[in-house]
Structure 1
Amino acid sequence: MWKSGLKWMFLIIGTIIGAGYASGRELWQFFGNESGLAILLFSMLFTLCCFVILSISFEKQTAHYLPVLQVLVGKKLSYLYDGMIFIYLFTTTVVMLAGSGATLEAFHFPNWWGIVVIIIPIILVFIRDIDGVLSLNSFILPLLIVGLLSVLLTFSIHEKLSFIPDISKQRNWTAAFTFTALNILPLVAVLGAVGNQMKSKGEVWIASLGSGLILGAISYIYNNSLIQISDEVLLYEIPLFAILRHYPYIMFVFITILLWLAIFTTAVSGTLGLVTRMRNRIDAPLWILAVFILIAMIPLTKIGFSTLIEYLYPLYGLLNLYILSSLIVYPVINRYKMGQK
């Protein structure tokens, strides 16, 4: 149970920690100053959402996300959200590809090199079907979490930063709802694809609590670090590089590799949601479907990494508030229905 629960936990974290999150751009877009309470609320809401989505996936033994949507928003609205999820996964995976290009540009390589370097391994992962994705996350995510936390904590200690927020200044608490909502659709898409592989409800608890606690802690420490260099964040396409500006070059290389791995795992998760939904209609191996999807994404990567995040992410955050509210009230409504029976 523990091993499987951790497997789903890493799948959740790998879905969330991508180009936008690991680079710091996404966190800075939503949080920033006076956001300690917002991040605490996000951690709690995120845990609840993961628990509800995983519970529905487990009970329905789902192989793709549509049955989960039908439970949450009803059959009529589920078709609207089905289209929205598909477009969301497509565009955010484009963000990951663009992020890979931006990462290699930091080393003065052409942007298209970074895009090719990420597309080929994604296709290779899907040769082993869903098992390839799960094995990848179980290997990469522990390294990514430890590496990112090490850098942020080292920076915090070096700068003598306080981890205690000013309770009287927490005006940005509402950002918790839009930031959580932003991450709902990929969670529904990815977790809906693995319901038929879960064996017990204990796995749901481990994955939900573990991912909520880890992401909440990383988000708080990361945001706290970015606040200290707020004047310099605007000068960098990837804010994490602003934190690393005084570090030795070898550390810069190490973190760039970790950042690319974060981008890669989220690109894989986004592609997983897309190809499992497509396989419901097109009988083909996942890797074949992945090839067609990724080729179609390449032209859109020209838009630019930070531009995509700046405009797409807040828009989806607002659109997803309805499904977030459905997830929050689902336990109450479900308990009421059970009582009626």
Structure 2
Amino acid sequence: MWSSGIKWIFLIIGTTIGAGYASGRELWQFFGHGSSFAILLFTIMFAVCCYVILIISYENKSTHYIPVLHLLVGKRLSKLYDVLILFYLFSTTVIMMAGSGATWQAFNISYWWGIIVVALPLILAFVRDIKGILNMNTFILPLLIGGLLYVLLSFVKQQEISFFSHLHEQFNWSSAFTFTALNILPLVAVLGAVGNHIKRKGEILIASVGSACILGVMTFIYNNSLIHISEEILLYEIPLFAILKNYPYNMFIIISILLWLALFTTALAGTLGIVKRIEGFFQIPLWKLAFIVVVIMIPFTSFGFSTLIEYLYPLYGLLNLYLLSALLIYPILQRSEKIK
């Protein structure tokens, strides 16, 4: 049960930690000063949402997200959210590709080479089964989480940053709702497709609480580190590089590779979600369909990494507030029905 639960933890974190989160750009967009209570709220709501999605998936033995949407928002709104999920997956994959360009640009390599380097394996990966993505997450995520925590804790120790110096400033608590809502849509899309693979309810509790606690702790540490360098963040497309600037060059390379792998797995999951959803409309192999989708995405990456996150992420966060509300009240409604 524990091994299966940990597998789902990696799936959840792998879905949530894309280039936006791992780079620090997404966190700074939503949190920053006065956000400790907001991060705590996010952690609690994230755990509840993951639990509800997984429970619905498990009880329905679902292989895609439509049954989850039907129970949460009804059949009519499900059609709207079905379209929204496709748009979300498309734009998120574009953001991941743009993040690859920004990562390579940090090494004084052309932005467009960074796009090509992620686009080619993204297409070629479709000769592999979806299980390859899960195995990749299981290998990559411990390295990414461990690497990020090592860098952040080393930075905290080096700069003598206090975790409690900003606790009296709690004016940004409402950002917890939009940040949680932002991350709900991909979770519904991914976790709604694994219901038939969950064997016990215990796995769900481990996955929900475990992933929320890991993300909550990382977010709190990361946010405090970013507050310490808030005046320098505007100079960097990827705030994590501002933290790494005083580290040895070898560490810079290692973290950059892990960051790229994180955005690649997220882009791969997004592309997979799109091509599996639309494959019924086209009588061509998946890799050809992936090629068409990726080629269409490439021009959109020219908007820039931070620009895409700045405008698209808050927009999706607001659109998903209704879905977040449905997830949070679902356990209450189920309990009320049982009492009746």
Match of 2:184 in 1: 184
Q: What are the Cα deviations for residues 167-194 of structure 1, in whole angstroms up to 9, with x where unaligned?
A: 4321111111010001111111111122
Supply the distance in 2 between the matched residues of 1:65 and 1:282 (Cα, whole angstroms). 21
Percent pairwise identity: 64
Match of 1:273 in 2: 273
Supply the distance in 2 between the matched residues of 1:134 and 1:45 (Cα, whole angstroms). 25
| Contact 1:190 1:270 (C-alpha < 8 Å) held by counterparts | no
Aligned-partner residue type, residue 88 of structure 2: Y
Q: Within 5 Å, give how 1:179-218 maps onto structure 2.
A: 179-218=179-218
| Contact 2:18 2:96 (C-alpha < 8 Å) held by counterparts | yes
Supply the distance in 2 between the matched residues of 1:68 and 1:289 (Cα, whole angstroms). 26
Match of 2:102 in 1: 102
Match of 1:146 in 2: 146
Match of 2:248 in 1: 248
Q: CA deviation at 1:33?
A: 0.5
Supply the distance in 1 between the matched residues of 2:167 and 2:75 (Cα, whole angstroms). 43
Structure 1 residues 284 and 334, CA gap change in structure 2 (3 angstroms)? farther
Supply the distance in 1 between the matched residues of 2:48 and 2:280 (Cα, whole angstroms). 28
Structure 1 residues 282 and 328, CA gap change in structure 2 (3 angstroms)? farther
Supply the distance in 1 between the matched residues of 2:215 and 2:292 (Cα, whole angstroms). 32
Structure 1 residues 245 and 279, CA gap change in structure 2 (3 angstroms)? same
TM-score (norm 1): 0.95
Supply the distance in 1 between the matched residues of 2:284 and 2:33 (Cα, whole angstroms). 48
Q: CA deviation at 1:199?
A: 1.5
Alignment length (residue pairs)? 340
Structure 1 residues 43 and 72, CA gap change in structure 2 (3 angstroms)? same
Supply the distance in 2 between the matched residues of 1:289 and 1:202 (Cα, whole angstroms). 38
Aligned-partner residue type, residue 80 of structure 2: L
Match of 1:301 in 2: 301
Supply the distance in 1 between the matched residues of 2:146 and 2:108 (Cα, whole angstroms). 27
Supply the distance in 2 between the matched residues of 1:69 and 1:325 (Cα, whole angstroms). 13
Aligned-partner residue type, residue 149 of structure 1: L
Aligned-partner residue type, residue 110 of structure 1: S
| Contact 2:57 2:192 (C-alpha < 8 Å) held by counterparts | yes
Q: CA deviation at 1:165?
A: 5.0
Question: What is the SS of the residue equivalent to 2:76?
Answer: helix
Supply the distance in 2 between the matched residues of 1:281 and 1:11 (Cα, whole angstroms). 28
Supply the distance in 2 between the matched residues of 1:30 and 1:3 (Cα, whole angstroms). 33
| Contact 1:14 1:269 (C-alpha < 8 Å) held by counterparts | no
Q: Gaps spanning 5+ residues in structure 1: where?
A: none
Supply the distance in 1 between the matched residues of 2:279 and 2:3 (Cα, whole angstroms). 28
Q: What are the Cα deviations for residues 297-323 of structure 1, in whole angstroms up to 9, with x where unaligned?
A: 111111111110010011111111000
| Contact 1:36 1:165 (C-alpha < 8 Å) held by counterparts | no
Match of 1:17 in 2: 17
Aligned-partner residue type, residue 264 of structure 2: F
Q: CA deviation at 1:259?
A: 1.2
| Contact 2:103 2:114 (C-alpha < 8 Å) held by counterparts | yes
TM-score (norm 2): 0.96
Aligned-partner residue type, residue 192 of structure 1: G
Supply the distance in 2 between the matched residues of 1:54 and 1:201 (Cα, whole angstroms). 9
Moved more, 56-65 or 283-292: 283-292
Q: CA deviation at 1:21?
A: 0.6
Supply the distance in 2 between the matched residues of 1:4 and 1:214 (Cα, whole angstroms). 17
Question: What is the SS of the residue equivalent to 2:254?
Answer: helix
Match of 1:232 in 2: 232
Question: Alpha carbon RMSD of aligned pairs, Å?
Answer: 1.6
Structure 1 residues 287 and 199, CA gap change in structure 2 (3 angstroms)? farther
| Contact 1:58 1:198 (C-alpha < 8 Å) held by counterparts | yes
Supply the distance in 1 between the matched residues of 2:11 and 2:298 (Cα, whole angstroms). 25
Moved more, 218-227 or 110-119: 110-119
Supply the distance in 2 between the matched residues of 1:94 and 1:36 (Cα, whole angstroms). 30
Match of 2:89 in 1: 89
Aligned-partner residue type, residue 55 of structure 2: S
Q: Gaps spanning 5+ residues in structure 2: where?
A: none
